[in-house]
């Protein structure tokens, strides 16, 4: 089984490399100076590599399932890699419908970031806790992941539309919001870089602190900017925290997760500042010339279609199937757990998206901003809720 587990990891690594190479081929399709024959070759190679990468990721999923004995969607590493796989699947389907190469240039980097983000969590295969031993868990998690992946393609269409259409000749609220979105992408990349770097150095700092009428300990994998409330650093020659987290942050690992978030934001800020220094202009402004020939009406339609398809799938997985599983696991359909609350917020947001689009005529730029806002909610649920807020889903 050890060899099969290693093979599973290799399949995932191969998929990541193939997606990365495919991204560069998709980039080769937007150069004006290249001949149509060269662009067609780049386009064919890009989608072939994407499909081969997707097959490799399916093989990762199957082999990990064989090793673990259960569907590999039970922790943050497994769920997030599955989410990335579903995003690639959604892109492949939409690509063959619309044949839009620029979609791959933006969709694949999002999938790469999500898969890389997953690799930061423990990858070990562990036995399921009792509440996870249910077929409804697999149905709930797979459908909600597929729904969110399709909704993420809406974000891809929306961000392409905005970069193309927002006036970059002067600074305004729209350019500021666009750059904020770019910054958070850099922050996600920053999380991957900073955690990988300190993990390679085997950095660990242990804190002791009072929690629920007893003394608990927590290990930090990054230098402590924020320490546990009333905590004491036990490890010698490690950085002392600059401040303590407030007492209202619940959970044994709340302070450690908040510290990771701070490092991600600061590293992202450094990366963004470096990009501005190199480009000498806003990042969106640097990308805009490459999108001149993009059909804005087509990307607007793709963004809407992704919501129209993804919303009902998410509703099934994130609410209906989730309630059935909650009743089976905890004997209640609803409990205002942070994950449940954000699933409900996501539902209402995309319901409002469709209402405004179909009833109020919010097409084009307004619709694109909504698509971007919806993806921000999905990412907040995936990253901030998991890293900061404690709840019944904290086993993940």
> Residues 350, 227: one domain?
no
**Is position 192 within any domain?**
no
> Residues 239, 332: one domain?
no
Q: What is the pLDDT of residue 395?
A: 46
CB 144 within 8 A of CB 297: no
> Residues 26, 156: one domain?
yes
Q: What is the pLDDT of residue 130?
A: 64
User: Quick one: which H or E segment has residue 233?
Assistant: strand 232-233
**Is position 186 within any domain?**
no
- Domain boundary residue, one of 225, 260, 295: 260
Q: In percent, how much of the chain has pLDDT > 70?
A: 92
Q: What is the pLDDT of residue 14?
A: 93
Please tell me the distance from the alpha carbon of residue 40 to that of residue 206, in angstroms, as a whole number: 55
CB 72 within 8 A of CB 55: no
Please tell me the distance from the alpha carbon of residue 74 to that of residue 133, in angstroms, as a whole number: 10
pLDDT (average), residues 117-136:
73
Please tell me the distance from the alpha carbon of residue 264 to that of residue 190, in angstroms, as a whole number: 5
Q: How many separate domains does the chain show?
A: 2
- For 380, half-sphere exposure in the C-beta direction (CA atoms, 13 angstrom radius) is 13
> Residues 286, 377: one domain?
yes
Q: What pTM did the predictor assign? A: 0.84
Q: At what angle do helices 364-379 and 338-359 cross, to 10 degrees?
A: 170
> Residues 17, 156: one domain?
yes
> Residues 140, 255: one domain?
no
**Is position 236 within any domain?**
yes
**How do residues 211-251 score in pLDDT, each as one tens digit?**
877 888 888 888 999 888 888 888 888 888 888 888 777 66
**Is position 97 within any domain?**
yes
- Single out the residue of 254, 219, 253, 258 nearest to residue 242, CA to CA: 258
**Is position 113 within any domain?**
yes
pLDDT band with cut points at 50, 70 and 90 for residue 33: low
> Residues 23, 151: one domain?
yes
> Residues 17, 101: one domain?
yes
pLDDT band with cut points at 50, 70 and 90 for residue 396: very low
**How do residues 370-381 score in pLDDT, each as one tens digit?**
999 999 898 888
**Is position 272 within any domain?**
no
Residues near 18 by beta carbon (within 8 Å), at least 6 away in sequence: 49, 50, 52, 53, 56
**Is position 109 within any domain?**
yes
Please tell me the distance from the alpha carbon of residue 291 to that of residue 377, in angstroms, as a whole number: 26
> Residues 145, 104: one domain?
yes
The CA-atom distances, in angstroms, between 236 and each of 202, 242, 252, 261, 295 are 15, 16, 22, 24, 59
> Residues 91, 34: one domain?
yes
CB 16 within 8 A of CB 115: yes
Query: What is the arrangement of strands in the sheet containing 205-211, beginning at the earlier edge strand?
Result: 214-220, 205-211, 232-233
pLDDT (average), residues 111-136:
76
Q: At what angle do helices 173-200 and 101-118 cross, to 10 degrees?
A: 40
169 versus 314: the higher-pLDDT residue is: 314
| Domain coverage including residue 95 | 2-168+282-387
Q: How many CB atoms lie within 10 A of CB 22?
A: 25
> Does the pLDDT of residue 188 top 90, yes or no?
no
Dig out the tokens for 156 from the structure: 């891809």
> Residues 106, 239: one domain?
no
């Amino acid at each position: 089984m050890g060899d099969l587990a290693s093979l599973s990891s290799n399949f995932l690594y191969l998929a990541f490399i193939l997606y990365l190479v495919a991204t560069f081929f998709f980039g080769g399709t937007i150069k004006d100076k290249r001949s149509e024959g060269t662009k067609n070759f780049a386009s064919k190679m890009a989608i072939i590599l994407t499909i081969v990468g997707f097959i490799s990721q399916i093989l990762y999923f199957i082999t990990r399932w064989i090793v673990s004995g259960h569907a590999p969607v039970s922790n943050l590493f497994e769920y997030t890699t599955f989410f990335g796989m579903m995003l690639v699947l959604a892109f492949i389907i939409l690509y063959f419908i619309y044949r839009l190469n620029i979609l791959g240039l933006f969709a694949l980097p999002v999938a790469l970031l999500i898969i890389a983000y997953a690799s930061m969590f423990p990858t070990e295969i562990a036995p399921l806790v009792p509440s996870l031993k249910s077929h409804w868990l697999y149905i709930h998690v797979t459908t909600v992941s597929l729904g969110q992946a399709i909704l993420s393609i809406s974000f891809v269409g929306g961000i392409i539309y905005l970069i193309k259409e927002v006036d970059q000749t002067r600074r305004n609220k729209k350019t500021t919001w666009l750059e904020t979105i770019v910054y958070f992408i850099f922050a996600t990349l920053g999380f991957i870089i900073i955690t990988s770097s300190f993990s390679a150095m085997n950095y660990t700092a242990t804190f002791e602190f009072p929690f629920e009428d007893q003394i608990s300990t927590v290990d930090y994998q990054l230098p402590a900017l924020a320490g546990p409330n009333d905590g004491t650093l036990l490890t010698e020659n490690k950085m002392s925290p600059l401040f303590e987290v407030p007492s209202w942050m619940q959970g044994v690992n709340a302070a450690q997760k908040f510290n990771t978030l701070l490092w991600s934001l600061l590293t992202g800020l450094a990366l963004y500042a470096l990009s501005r220094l190199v480009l000498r202009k806003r990042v969106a402004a640097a990308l805009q010339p490459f999108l001149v020939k993009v059909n804005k009406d087509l990307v607007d339609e793709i963004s809407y279609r992704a919501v129209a398809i993804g919303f009902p799938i998410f509703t099934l997985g994130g609410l209906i199937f989730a309630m059935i599983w909650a009743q089976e696991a905890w004997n209640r359909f609803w409990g205002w757990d942070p994950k449940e609350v954000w699933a409900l917020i996501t539902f209402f947001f995309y319901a409002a998206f469709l209402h405004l689009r179909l009833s109020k005529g919010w097409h084009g730029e307004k619709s694109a901003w909504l698509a971007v806002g919806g993806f921000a909610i999905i990412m907040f649920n995936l990253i901030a809720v998991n890293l900061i807020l404690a709840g019944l889903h904290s086993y993940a």
